[in-house]
Structure 1
Amino acid sequence: MSTASRETTSPRSSAKSSSLLTVLLALGANIIVAIAKSVAGFLTGSASMVAEAAHSWADAGNELFLLQAERVAVRPRDPAHPGGYGREAYVWSLFAAVGLFTAGAVVSIMHGVSQLGAEEPETDYLINYIVLAVAFVFEGVSFMQSYRQAHALADERGTSTVEHVLSTSNPTLRAVFAEDAAALIGLLIAFLGVLLHELTGNAVFDALGSILVGVLLAIVAFVLIDRNRRFLLGEQAPERVTQAVLGMLLRHPEVSSVSYLHLEYVGPERVFLVAAVDLVGNDRESDVADDLYAVEQELERNEHIAEAVLTLSRRGQPTLRASE
């Protein structure tokens, strides 16, 4: 089976349960790590640890937004929302990205800047190292869960893991993967800040660690905000998905050819389909309308197609061909 075909026929329920497990694991890890970092930051006064605590609390709050995104996106469509509620997942994911920027990036940068001229007293660096090591283990477990999910889906689609994370219509997977990756990098930055502070006795390195963590979170937040903005505006499905749906249309016994096809994401792994087709035979207008409606209904039974709208091709209009 081709990669395009697998994309349109993969079990959505298993993907949803996998995404939910990823979010829950990340939430649990972030709460535990946030408490540990907060205690360490309070006891040692380390600017890097305070920044990391803010980072983890922001991530924990964001996971709640992502859980809401997972919950509302699967609501069935109704007369008021014929395309379903899938786009609401991007709204909640956008809230999570903004939260990462405000509660994570801004707090970390402001705290680091405020500590640049301050002289931190000698402290128990061992506490910071222990907490950072424990946090790295918890964050690493959470990251591996999101990585395995993203890597498996990327293999099915024949793309790299990072490319899939950036392009996927699943905002939950993208957010958890990005936040977990940023968490691991942030821990390394905090470790270097604390270590250089200990080796040199200069607290400016600790403050710089806090600022760098904030900059890292700001970059990740801007990427997530931009991706959610694009999907809210209406992201066109990639070529592999278009080819899969085109092949499905051309294999339908009632469809002779397809001259126009538009696929637009209306939620995670869900598209709105508009196509101009030529039907087999030369039926009366009323029969053609019934035939088109029957094909639409059959297409909508595919779990990845939220709504299908078909019209007749214009005479002489060039037809589309599915790639082999």
Structure 2
Amino acid sequence: MASGSKKVIYAALIGNSLIAASKFTAAFFTGSSAMLSEGVHSLVDTGNQILMLHGLRRARKAADANHPFGYGMELYFWAFVVAILIFALGAGISLYEGIKHIQHPEPITDPTWNYVVLGLAILFEGWAWTVAWIEFKRGIGKNGLWQSVRLSKDPTIFTILFEDTAAVLGLIVALVGIFFAQYLGIPELDGIASVVIAMILAGVAVLLAIECKGLLIGESADPLVQSGIEAIIGREARIEAVNELLTMHLGPHDILVNLSLDFNDTLTSAEVEDTITDLERRIKAEYPDIRRVFIEAQSFRSHEETISAEDIYKR
């Protein structure tokens, strides 16, 4: 999926770079507020893709003494920064330009530039969106779109998909606003289109921020992975019970697993050690994304007493 993520980002980066240049050119010659907003939108998206590539590069850094679990969560941080930039720069500048052109409307000159650029932009953005959608669809399975976004641990895919969706919607809004501003002779409609684009960007930014927040503070592994781990342990006769199973994503393909297990009392310490080694090997073989497994040997009764004592302390 890492290569798939890069493919999606590079497709969006190439498309947005070309589109941003053409939009700013059209805005310069026509004075369109909506077109300027769209140019800013594409420029912000281009910067976002560079940040996502930076996040992927940083996330691949090997673990060290200061970060013993690696740098995988840096990708989540940079995805959150992307959401902030979309809101602050994309939505903020579009809103400012829209309000300014509503208060001080200016007629659009030579709108042919706008129509040509918007038409080409829709084709480029449509291509980038298709690449992102195909890559995202691979991981959907039987889940719905929104459920897949909520379950996804790779922010690069759904971030680019959201960005491209907002870009296509923004282009349509800009095209409609420019057309009616010219056709009806109401230049304020161009500014209104810019405000609508700002609202679209703000909505996407909020959705991205919510999803990235969950990843940043630590999300558990997919329920199917957790039930699979429990099934592996359930087939082990040397284990009496699973006291606790904790999982957390340290990156899209880096899962931490903590287990508290009640071992059979007849086992020797050497046999317990062999069982732990065997379980860790089988869990990692079944789920390659699980990089670290920590297993604690503890009786069910002792575990319950520890949990109860912790609950009393928290009160």
* Common fold by TM > 0.5: yes
Aligned residue in 2 for 1:161: 145
Matches within 5 A, 1:221-232: 221-232=205-216
The yes-or-no answer on 1:52 pairing with 2:38 is yes
Aligned residue in 2 for 1:95: 81
SS in 1 for 2:102: coil
The yes-or-no answer on 1:41 pairing with 2:22 is no
Structure 2 Cα separation of the partners of residues 122 and 94 of structure 1: 37
> 261, 268, 272: which one pairs with 1:277?
261
The yes-or-no answer on 1:208 pairing with 2:175 is no
Matches within 5 A, 1:101-140: 101-140=87-126
- Flag the structure with more relative contact order, 1 or 2, with Cα contacts below 8 A and sequence separation at least 6: 1
State the 1:300 CA deviation: 4.8
SS in 1 for 2:5: helix
Structure 2 Cα separation of the partners of residues 198 and 266 of structure 1: 52
Aligned residue in 1 for 2:289: 304
State the 1:132 CA deviation: 0.6
Query: What's the % identity of the aligned pairs?
Result: 27
TM-score normalised to structure 2 length: 0.88
The yes-or-no answer on 1:75 pairing with 2:61 is yes
SS in 1 for 2:247: strand
Aligned residue in 1 for 2:162: 178
The answer on whether the counterparts of 2:115 and 2:175 sit within 8 Å (CA) in structure 1 is: yes
My pick for the range that moved more, 95-104 or 290-299, is: 290-299
The answer on whether the counterparts of 1:69 and 1:172 sit within 8 Å (CA) in structure 2 is: no
State the 1:167 CA deviation: 2.9
State the 1:199 CA deviation: 1.4
Cα gap change, 1:201 to 1:233, in 2 (>3 Å): same
Structure 2 Cα separation of the partners of residues 290 and 84 of structure 1: 27
SS in 1 for 2:249: strand
Segments of 5+ residues of structure 2 without an aligned counterpart are 305-315
Count matched residues.
302
Segments of 5+ residues of structure 1 without an aligned counterpart are 1-14, 319-324
Structure 1 Cα separation of the partners of residues 272 and 101 of structure 2: 73
The answer on whether the counterparts of 1:120 and 1:203 sit within 8 Å (CA) in structure 2 is: yes
> 47, 50, 54: which one pairs with 1:61?
47
The answer on whether the counterparts of 2:263 and 2:299 sit within 8 Å (CA) in structure 1 is: no
| RMSD (Å) for aligned C-alpha atoms | 2.2
SS in 2 for 1:115: helix
TM-score normalised to structure 1 length: 0.86
State the 1:17 CA deviation: 0.6
